[in-house]
């Protein structure tokens, strides 16, 4: 038996394997990506929902921005104050106190409250209604279409269609803004969690028109504005608006509203 014929290839293979191992080890050290320990710590502190509500591409993007000083420590709307404080401790700073926000649908026209122009049978996606006559079967072009595109988009199960109109669960809402992005009627906005009274209508039609279309829509009568003791309510484009920085939640506007368009949230 020719042992050299067996040993020579074996030695060559072992030598080649040793060379490749050493080469990969050296390459791994030379090309090692430096890890920002603060960025990793911030990423662990974030909730990991990757909802994009912070304005960055997921939690990793936000963690990188915070570590680089390109975003404030309280940028995550989902984590809120506890997460902001945790990240502030990591970054060696303090988190600026911000008010908790929640989504609000400016429409309260449930089934039976709004006049219908026709029966709609088709794709149940609010964004598709722009392709149908009058922008949907409801007479009011400013009201909630009720097909739940916002509900399907919400990553926190915080919004549901109840009797034909989208309703936000204030306790589940994380203010990520996903529902705002997909609402074709632009009815949803972020409002302070502390705001007890909100105008549940987005119509900018004149009073007589709104009265024909909806039983609970704002008709721009101005009674709420006239009775507000702090002048926190104004009527613009036939629709009431509340200045939350002035409002003290006294409830006078809701009490005086003849259409009960201004609603108490809790």
Query: What CATH number does the domain containing 49 carry?
Result: 1.10.15.40
Is residue 56 one of the residues assigned to a domain?
yes
Kind of pairing between the strands at 188-192 and 165-168: unpaired
Residues near 5 by beta carbon (within 8 Å), at least 6 away in sequence: none
Of how many residues is the chain composed? Answer: 266
Is residue 7 one of the residues assigned to a domain?
no
Is residue 256 one of the residues assigned to a domain?
yes
Q: Are residues 182 and 208 in the same domain?
A: no
The predicted structure's pLDDT at residue 130: 80
Residue 261, domain extent: 194-266
The predicted structure's pLDDT at residue 265: 87
Question: Per the structure, how many domains does the chain have?
Answer: 3
Task: Examine the fold and report which residue of 135, 157, 191 is the final residue of a domain before the chain moves on.
Answer: 191
Q: Are residues 186 and 200 in the same domain?
A: no
Q: Give burial (CB, 10 Å; 0-12/13-18/19+) of 18.
A: exposed
3-state secondary structure of 213: helix
The predicted structure's pLDDT at residue 6: 65
H/E element, 166: strand 165-168
The predicted structure's pLDDT at residue 51: 86
Is residue 157 one of the residues assigned to a domain?
yes
State which residues of the chain have pLDDT below 50.
none
Q: How far apart are CA 197 and CA 248, in angstroms?
A: 10
Q: Are residues 223 and 177 in the same domain?
A: no
Q: Give burial (CB, 10 Å; 0-12/13-18/19+) of 112.
A: exposed
Task: Examine the fold and report which residue of 191, 217, 247 is the final residue of a domain before the chain moves on.
Answer: 191
The predicted structure's pLDDT at residue 3: 60
The predicted structure's pLDDT at residue 37: 86
CB 81 within 8 A of CB 97: yes
């Amino acid at each position: 038996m020719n042992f050299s014929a067996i040993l020579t290839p074996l030695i060559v293979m072992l030598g080649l394997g040793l060379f490749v191992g050493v080469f990969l080890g050296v390459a791994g050290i030379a090309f090692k990506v430096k890890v920002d320990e603060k960025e990793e710590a911030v990423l662990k502190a974030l909730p990991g929902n990757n909802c994009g509500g912070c304005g960055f591409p997921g939690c990793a993007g936000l963690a990188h921005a915070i570590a680089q000083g390109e975003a404030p420590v309280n940028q995550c709307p989902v984590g809120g104050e506890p997460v902001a404080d945790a990240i502030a401790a990591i970054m060696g700073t303090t988190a600026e106190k911000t008010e908790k926000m929640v989504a609000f649908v400016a429409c309260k026209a449930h089934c039976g409250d709004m006049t219908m122009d026709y029966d709609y049978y088709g794709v149940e996606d609010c964004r598709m209604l722009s392709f149908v006559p009058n922008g949907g079967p409801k007479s009011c072009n400013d009201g909630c279409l009720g097909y739940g595109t916002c509900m399907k988009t919400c990553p926190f199960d915080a919004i549901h269609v109840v009797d034909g109109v989208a309703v936000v669960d204030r306790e589940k809402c994380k203010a990520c803004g996903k529902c705002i992005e997909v609402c074709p009627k632009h009815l949803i906005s972020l409002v302070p969690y502390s705001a007890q009274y909100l105008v549940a209508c987005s119509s900018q039609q004149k009073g007589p028109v709104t009265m024909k279309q909806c039983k609970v829509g704002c008709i721009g009568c101005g009674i709420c504005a006239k009775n507000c003791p702090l002048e926190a309510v104004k009527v613009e484009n036939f629709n009431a608006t509340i200045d939350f920085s002035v409002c003290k939640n006294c409830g006078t506007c809701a009490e005086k509203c003849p259409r009960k368009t201004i609603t108490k949230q809790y």
